[in-house]
Amino acid sequence: MKNKVFVILVLLTILALALATGFSLLWRLFILAVLMLLISYWWVFLGIRNIEAQVKQLPQRCQVGETIDEEVTLLNQSNLPKLFLQARENTDLPEHRNLTAVNLSPHGAYTWRSKVRFHRRGRYRLGSYTITASDPFGFFQRQIQLGSPQSILVCPETIELPHFDPMAYHAYGYGTKGKLAGQMSTNVASVREYTNGDSLKHLHWHSTAHTGKLMVKIFDPDHSRNTAKNVWIVVDMQQSVHTGDGDKSTEEYTVTIATTLIKKYMDNGASVGLIASAEQNYCFTPEWGSQPFWNMLTALALMQAEGDVPIEQTIAGEPGRFGSDSIVIVITPSQSERLSTALRQITSREGLVIAILFDGGNMARMLISIGAQVYVVRRGDNVALALNSRRNRPILSAKEPPPVASSLEK
């Protein structure tokens, strides 16, 4: 725009001087400038015509951390060369800039390839391009849109959790109160001292009388019935409890862990469900199979921590869904004392409750006191190590501090 204004002012100045002085040189200069502008305009007008684009079809979905290849070919369908073209991809994908300069010979073609790496979950547009033609002097520009926008869903990242096995702790008598009904053998392997969360039904009275301390039975696990019928993933998407920005926010940690656990349990043949109160309410009843898996991943890809319903209300609003055959995994940064009350209703029905927190402290102690298993993931932690049941056992006693695993920084 500034160039055009400058050119117009120069032309008017030359014209004014030519009229005032009558010098033939000024008239020739004025005519030459007008001809140059007309040539520049026609250069741009003809330069943007008869151009086509062939864009490679992109996948409909991928995951954070994956890379895909883009391929675009521009075709010149005219007898004139197309020079000084610029091609720019129209996209809302963060950190992605696809820009190139192109010159096309008559009936020629130009192909370029680029790699796209996805860093953030969500739905984004790719595949549409703005082609800009300009003259050598930069006086004029024209643009056309080529290619159809392609929508691509970027699902959350999944990580490997080969050693996340909360059920392993029942084999050693930990968290007896949270053991699923029917998963405990009637064979007593040994006894140990009572800890908070143990069921009084499992007291070993002979050992208690002998030692003067409360002792509970440790049962052999019944591995033939070691799988719960239903696994519920309950994610906290209340806006006020989340902190941090970008990939290190508790929101992204929550979504990544939820996605990982859904994949882990489904790969093991379990039926998995998902509950969340975010920008809208989500409830997927436990199912197994590829379609339920992708349905939940789609929801997690688009889910935002914009909810106003506390996690304890979300849990309390689904009392009939969590039975003795359920594993309920709650992922939350909340420190609300009312959460333990909501989860107590599940543990009282012999359901297994696993809480993954982003700040331990009093919340961790309150939850293990009702029989829940608690893991703590802190900002900067390697999630696979923080949830490694072999390396870091859950908090099992109200007297124990939250676990602090060494060498967790990525």
Write out the chain's pLDDT in tens, 410 residues.
Answer: 566 677 677 777 877 877 778 788 888 888 888 888 888 888 888 888 999 999 999 999 999 999 999 999 999 999 999 988 999 999 999 888 889 999 999 999 999 999 999 999 999 999 999 999 988 777 788 999 999 999 999 999 999 888 887 654 443 344 434 444 444 445 565 677 765 555 666 777 777 788 888 877 765 544 434 445 789 999 999 999 999 888 889 999 999 999 999 999 998 888 999 999 999 999 999 998 889 999 999 999 999 999 999 999 999 887 678 877 789 999 999 988 899 889 988 888 777 899 999 877 788 888 888 888 889 988 878 888 888 765 555 554 444 444 433 222 33
Pairing of strands 230-235, 326-332: parallel
- Per-residue model confidence (pLDDT) at position 201: 67
Q: What is the three-class DSSP state of 99? A: strand
Determine the angle formed by the axes of helices 24-47 and 2-21, rounding to 10 degrees: 150
When computed from its CA atoms, the radius of gyration of the chain, rounded to whole angstroms, is 33
Q: How far apart are CA 226 and CA 182, in angstroms?
A: 9
pTM of the model: 0.74
Nearest residue to 359 (alpha-carbon basis) of 342, 381, 385: 381
Q: How far apart are CA 294 and CA 124, in angstroms?
A: 17
Structure tokens at 372: 């829940």
Determine the angle formed by the axes of helices 250-267 and 290-302, rounding to 10 degrees: 180
Nearest residue to 198 (alpha-carbon basis) of 226, 169, 173: 173
Q: Which domains does the chain have, with CATH numbers?
A: 51-155 (2.60.40.10), 173-221 (no CATH), 226-386 (3.40.50.410)
- Per-residue model confidence (pLDDT) at position 183: 45
Nearest residue to 296 (alpha-carbon basis) of 314, 310, 283, 306: 283
- Per-residue model confidence (pLDDT) at position 25: 82
- Per-residue model confidence (pLDDT) at position 1: 57
Nearest residue to 174 (alpha-carbon basis) of 400, 406, 396: 396
Determine the angle formed by the axes of helices 338-347 and 361-369, rounding to 10 degrees: 30
- Per-residue model confidence (pLDDT) at position 313: 92
Structure tokens at 347: 């543990």
- Per-residue model confidence (pLDDT) at position 365: 86
What phi-psi label fits residue 244: left (phi over 0), alpha (psi between -120 and 50 degrees) or beta? left
Q: How far apart are CA 53 and CA 246, in angstroms?
A: 35
Task: Answer yes or no: are the C-beta atoms of 170 and 353 closer than 8 Å.
Answer: no
Please state, as a whole number, how many other Cβ atoms lie within 10 Å of the Cβ of residue 145.
12
Q: How far apart are CA 351 and CA 87, in angstroms?
A: 58
Q: How far apart are CA 84 and CA 134, in angstroms?
A: 6
